[in-house]
Structure 1
Amino acid sequence: MLEVDREQVLAYRIAAHGLHREETDAAAAAVFDLGLQDSVRDTALLGLTARIDGDITPAIWEDGRFVLAWTHRGAPHFHRRAELDAIRAALVPLDEKDAMARILWQRKQVEDAGMSAADALFTAARAIRQVVTGRQTKGTVSGAVTKLIPDGLSYACRGCGVVHIYEQLMRVASLHAGVRLEPGATPATLAPLEKRGRLRTSPDVEAATRVVGGYLRINGPATPGDAAAYVGTTRTGVGAMWPDNLVEVRVDGKKAFLPEDSVPLLENPPEPDAVRLLPPLDPFVQARDRAVLVPDKARQKEVWKILGNPGALLADGELAGVWRAKASGKKRLDFTVTPFDAVRPAVRKAAEEEAARVAAAREFPDLRVTFS
Structure 2
Amino acid sequence: MVLEIDRRQAMAYRVAAHGLHRGGTDPAALAVFDLGVQDDAQRDTANLAVLARLDTAPRRPLADDERFLSTWSHRGAPHYHRAGDFRALLPALMPWDAADAAARLSWQRRDMAAAGMPADEAIRTAAAALRKVVTHPMTKGAASEAVTKVIPEGLSLWCRRCRATHILDQLMRLATPLAGLALRPGVSPVTLVPLRPRPRVPEHPDARAAVDVVRTYLRLHGPATATDAAGFVGTTRTTLTHAMWPDDLVEVSVDGRRCVIPHDALAALEHPPEADVVRLLPPRDPLVQARDRALLVPDPGHRKEVWKILGSPGTILADGEIAGVWRARRSGARMELTLTELLPLSARVRAAVEAEAERLGKARGAESLRVSWT
Q: Do the two structures share a fold, i.e. TM-score over 0.5?
A: yes
1:241 aligns with 2:248: no
CA distance in 2, matches of 1:23, 1:201: 39
**Which of 269, 274, 291 is the aligned partner of 1:271?**
274
Which residue does 2:129 correspond to in 1? 127
Contact 1:14–1:20 (CA under 8 A) maintained in structure 2: yes
Provide Cα deviations, 1:115-142, integer angstroms capped at 9, x if missing partner.
1111110111111112212221111111
1:297 deviates by: 0.4
CA distance in 2, matches of 1:173, 1:354: 39
**61-70 or 228-237: which moved more?**
61-70
CA distance in 2, matches of 1:137, 1:106: 29
1:117 aligns with 2:119: yes
Which residue does 2:258 correspond to in 1? 255
Alpha carbon RMSD of aligned pairs, Å? 1.1
**52-61 or 91-100: which moved more?**
52-61
> Which residue identity does 1:145 align to in structure 2?
V
SS at match of 1:285: helix
1:48 deviates by: 0.4
Matches within 5 A, 1:316-335: 316-327=319-330, 329-335=331-337
Which residue does 1:22 correspond to in 2? 23
Contact 1:57–1:362 (CA under 8 A) maintained in structure 2: no
Any stretches of 5+ residues in structure 1 without a counterpart?
Answer: none
Which residue does 2:357 correspond to in 1? 355
Matches within 5 A, 1:97-112: 97-112=99-114
CA distance in 2, matches of 1:23, 1:243: 30
CA distance in 2, matches of 1:82, 1:46: 22
Provide Cα deviations, 1:310-332, integer angstroms capped at 9, x if missing partner.
001000110001000000x2111
CA distance in 2, matches of 1:220, 1:45: 24
Which residue does 1:366 correspond to in 2? 368
**116-125 or 10-19: which moved more?**
116-125
1:55 deviates by: 1.2
Structure 1 runs (4+) deviating above 6 angstroms are none
Provide Cα deviations, 1:56-81, integer angstroms capped at 9, x if missing partner.
36533312100000000000000000
Normalising by structure 2, what TM-score?
A: 0.97
1:361 deviates by: 2.4
Which residue does 2:151 correspond to in 1? 149
SS at match of 1:370: strand
Contact 2:47–2:61 (CA under 8 A) maintained in structure 1: no
**94-103 or 209-218: which moved more?**
94-103
Which residue does 2:185 correspond to in 1? 183
Which residue does 1:291 correspond to in 2? 294
CA distance in 1, matches of 2:290, 2:60: 26
**48-57 or 282-291: which moved more?**
48-57
CA distance in 1, matches of 2:4, 2:75: 32
Which residue does 1:158 correspond to in 2? 160
Contact 2:25–2:57 (CA under 8 A) maintained in structure 1: no
CA distance in 2, matches of 1:219, 1:250: 14
1:106 deviates by: 2.0
Which residue does 1:11 correspond to in 2? 12
**38-47 or 282-291: which moved more?**
38-47
**196-205 or 280-289: which moved more?**
196-205
Count of aligned positions: 371
> Which residue identity does 1:160 align to in structure 2?
C
CA distance in 2, matches of 1:369, 1:123: 51
Provide Cα deviations, 1:60-115, integer angstroms capped at 9, x if missing partner.
33121000000000000000000101111111111221111112222212122221
Normalising by structure 1, what TM-score?
A: 0.97
CA distance in 2, matches of 1:137, 1:120: 22
Which residue does 2:79 correspond to in 1? 77
1:23 deviates by: 2.9
SS at match of 2:79: strand
Any stretches of 5+ residues in structure 2 without a counterpart?
Answer: none
> Which residue identity does 1:341 align to in structure 2?
L
CA distance in 2, matches of 1:252, 1:320: 20
Contact 2:63–2:186 (CA under 8 A) maintained in structure 1: no
Contact 1:24–1:52 (CA under 8 A) maintained in structure 2: yes
Contact 2:26–2:58 (CA under 8 A) maintained in structure 1: no
Judged with a 3 Å threshold, the aligned counterparts in structure 2 of structure 1 residues 340 and 53 are, in CA distance, closer, same or farther, namely: same
Which residue does 2:207 correspond to in 1? 205
CA distance in 1, matches of 2:363, 2:193: 26
